[in-house]
Chains A and B, each alone.
Chain A
Amino acid sequence: MNGRSEFSADLNSLLISLALHLAVFGILWAVGRQWLNSTVNTNIEIIKSSVRVDLVSMPKFTLKELEAIQDLPHVEETVTKEVVEKAPEVTDEKDVTFKTKATSFDDFLNSQSNKKLKLKKKVEVKIKVKKENPLFGINKKELEKIIHAGNKISKGIALTGDSDADIKKVESEKYITGLISRIKRYWKLPSYLIDEDLNCAIRVFLKKNGNIIKLSIFESSGVKEYDEKALDAIKKAGPYDPLVEQIADRGARGDFVVGFPL
């Protein structure tokens, strides 16, 4: 009897000991994993901050050339259909609506030449221009890529780049940044207004193809000329690039509000 009870007591002790060991091991494992994760994350952050710079060479293009590239008209197909999207109701009374004239690349080339070119010779003219001007010898999108690569020391976007949401967000951000920089090129004020502490905001309604549907004054500066200069800047900067998928529907809703200056 004694021997049996001793065996039973030993077994209990063994089980308790095993359970305690397992518990301690479990705690250590959990803490260790947490520590390991945080260390890895910290290391990733350190690496991110150290490597998220795209090293570049000296700029290939001059400031003037970059301006010329940005001035190239937006190339698009001729619009044959009226607006499908209906703009939502706008409470502002001072709506400004206008139509934008569609232009083609051939039209642009023609406008650059003093001679009236015949339609048959169009292909020849294109080749000629490509040879004469290196700017037109490259696709505009390719040029923009070169500008990004060669003229800016810019932060990288992400370390891994595997997140679809991140990529979409980046595309939207890139579109908005492009939109702003385009408008900024035409945002000019006379000397007597440039130092005034004024601010206005314009609501922009865009088609999916980047054409302006209409503009409305969202917040007025109180100075008519200032508001008109802001409207002019948006008009002159258009038509814009086609809206990216993530914000395609928001253009027609008039969700874009452009502040002058903020």
Chain B
Amino acid sequence: MKLLICSICLILLSGSLFGQTGFIRMGVGKADLEADRIAIPIPLKVGNFSVPQSMAIKEIYEILVEDFSYYKKDFEILAPDRLPYMHIKRSNFFEPDYKSLSRRNFSYTFHLRVKSLVLGKNGPKTQDIKVDARVYRVRDKKLLLEKEFVISSGKIRKGVHGIGNDIYTSIKNKQSIFNSKILFVSDQGSQRGHQIKELFIMDFDGRNSRQLSRHNAVVVSPAISHNREMIAYTVIKKSGRKKTVDLYMHNLRTGRMRLLSNRPGINSGAVFTPDDKSLLLTLSYSGNAEIYQLNLKNKRITPLTKHYSDDVDPSISRDGRMYTFLSNRSGRADVYTAKMGKAESGVKRISYVGKFNATPRYSPNGKYIAFSSWVDNRFDIYRINSSGTGLVRLTKNFGSNEDPSFSNDGQFIVFTSQRVLSRTKAIQNLYIMDKDGEILGRLTKGFGNCISPRWTH
């Protein structure tokens, strides 16, 4: 941004810009990142393997390639069948053929050597596999990672995601999405006349989903703590004429669930503060929906908004200084930002257009806010800079799209997309796109209607 401003200043300050003499100097600003070409030769097998182990090795390789294909703007991976053992010196599997790699413009090469893990005196007692992984940078022939992993037969995906994350971190010096998970709510199990929505969690790629809650009620607005130990969510229960909208907390480590807030009215839309010591949530016990900070230790609440209009759906920035929320104080649902601290501190309207805006969500670096907006009789997802500039559209002609949630690294967005099947039937699934709106694929299928996705931090 600074560079862009400087570029503009350069143009404006060059006095002779549109005079008839001298140069017209202009700056293009910061460059975009060029995708790095990566070679991932198939793993070298050392020793004898059982049939399940051989299949597992194939799976290890495929998962690793699949993981890195999510970052297609950062990495270009050649079709695996074109990279059997090439670019490796025959004498030593771990000796890359830098000359050949450099000639073909490869930036990195990952080498995997797998061994059967033999335990016990009477032969193999486990199907576990030992993986020796190395990452080389071609440009300066540098070994970036040298690490041994043990992949359990029942947890292959988890193990490979871990290897992938270590490889990614060795190159980029930051965490990938490979170890992240996505919380969501599904109505799977609903029966006619009795709708239930329960909480589920799955890997970032839509695999390994498992049910977390069993309230036999409607669960909405889940949130996961930054240490991934606690999940806060709201349960809507009806008994006769009475309807309660209460906040619950689920401890993933102990498996315990407890009621956190059951004030009259709404107790919903909770998000954890970065220190996991408190929640921001919407309470309406005063007769008006306002955003409060709830201290998890002493259960005290502090109002963050104080306005006669309704303020709902908070999302907090990673540094904990700002939060964004939805309010109808302008006369319609618009996105606002405010500073954490005293009530109504630094409230700023961000969206000025759109008939109805919803679910604003901060990106991890606090630079962007993604939200959905009602346009042409459907919702679509938009992104705006947290300063209120740079409004861009991300989805279009792709069903009705809502509820965006940024990935832990800010590079991807998970969202819900609804397809109308008939006059009375529609199906809602979770999809993933990159932060610029390139749809990467569907995450859920045959899992009922899936809503409220939340990416872990």
Contact = CB atoms under 8 A, between A and B. Distances in A.
Contacts of B33: 188-191, 194
Contacts of B18: 168-169, 172-173, 246-247
B28 A256 contact: no
A65 B28 contact: no
Contacts of B7: 180, 259, 261-262
Interface in B2-60: 3, 6-7, 10-11, 17-18, 20, 22-34, 36
A153 B74 CA distance: 31
A188 B32 contact: yes
A251 B138 CA distance: 41
Interface stretch (A3-11, A54-62, A78-86): A54-62
Contacts of A176: 11, 17, 24, 26
Given A63-B436, A188-B33, A247 B24 contact: yes
A107 interface: no
Given A190-B107, A261-B31, A255 B23 contact: yes
A188 B34 CA distance: 5
Contacts of A62: 392-396, 437
Interface string A27-65: 000000000000000000000000000011111111111
Interface in A151-208: 151, 153, 168-169, 172-173, 176, 179-180, 183-184, 187-194, 201, 203
Interface in B127-148: 139
B266 to A, nearest CB: 28
A255 B28 contact: no
Given A65-B396, A247-B18, A194 B391 contact: no
Contacts of A262: 3, 6-7, 10, 27, 29
Interface centre among B20, B139, B389, B393 (most CB of A within 10 A): B393
B373 interface: yes
A23 B107 CA distance: 85
B368 to A, nearest CB: 12
A3 B343 CA distance: 88
Given A60-B393, A62-B394, A246-B18, A259 B23 contact: no
B336 interface: no
Contacts of B25: 201, 257-259
A179 B394 contact: no
B375 interface: yes
B382 interface: yes
B353 interface: yes
A58 B396 contact: no
**A interface, how many residues as a size bin?**
35 or more
A126 interface: no
A250 interface: yes
B412 to A, nearest CB: 14
A63 B24 contact: no
A180 B26 contact: yes
A233 interface: yes
B229 interface: no
Contacts of B29: 180, 184, 187, 261-262
Given A58-B375, A59-B393, A62-B396, A261 B28 contact: yes
A140 interface: no
Interface string B85-115: 0000000000000000000000100000000
Contacts of A58: 353-354, 373, 375, 382, 391, 393
A261 B25 CA distance: 11
Given A176-B24, A189-B31, A63 B382 contact: no
Given A188-B33, A189-B33, A258 B394 contact: no
A260 interface: yes
A229 interface: yes
Contact of B28 (A153, A184, A192, A246): A184
A31 B140 CA distance: 75
Nearest to A170: B18
A188 B25 CA distance: 20
Interface string B346-369: 000000111000000000000000
B438 interface: yes
A256 B18 CA distance: 11
A259 B394 contact: no
Contacts of B392: 59, 62-63, 151
Contacts of A172: 17-18
A190 B35 CA distance: 7
B31 A59 contact: no
B394 A63 contact: yes
Interface string A75-99: 0000000000000000000000000
B36 A190 contact: yes
Interface string A95-119: 0000000000000000000000000
Contacts of B171: 191
Given A191-B36, A246-B18, A247-B18, A259 B28 contact: yes
A247 B22 CA distance: 12
A229 B31 contact: yes
Contacts of A56: 353
B28 A260 contact: yes
A173 B354 CA distance: 31
A183 B391 contact: no
A65 B375 CA distance: 17
B107 A153 contact: no
Contact of A259 (B20, B27, B389): B27
Nearest to A64: B437
Contacts of A257: 23-26
Given A59-B382, A63-B437, A191-B107, A258 B393 contact: no
Contacts of A180: 7, 26-29
A169 B18 CA distance: 7
Nearest to A177: B11
B139 to A, nearest CB: 6
A260 B391 CA distance: 26
29 contacts: A58-B391, A61-B393, A62-B393, A64-B436, A151-B393, A153-B352, A169-B18, A172-B18, A173-B18, A184-B28, A187-B29, A188-B33, A189-B33, A190-B36, A191-B33, A191-B74, A194-B33, A201-B25, A203-B23, A233-B28, A247-B24, A250-B20, A256-B23, A257-B25, A258-B25, A258-B26, A259-B27, A260-B28, A262-B27
Interface of B: 3, 6-7, 10-11, 17-18, 20, 22-34, 36, 74, 107, 139, 171-172, 352-354, 373, 375, 382, 389, 391-396, 436-438
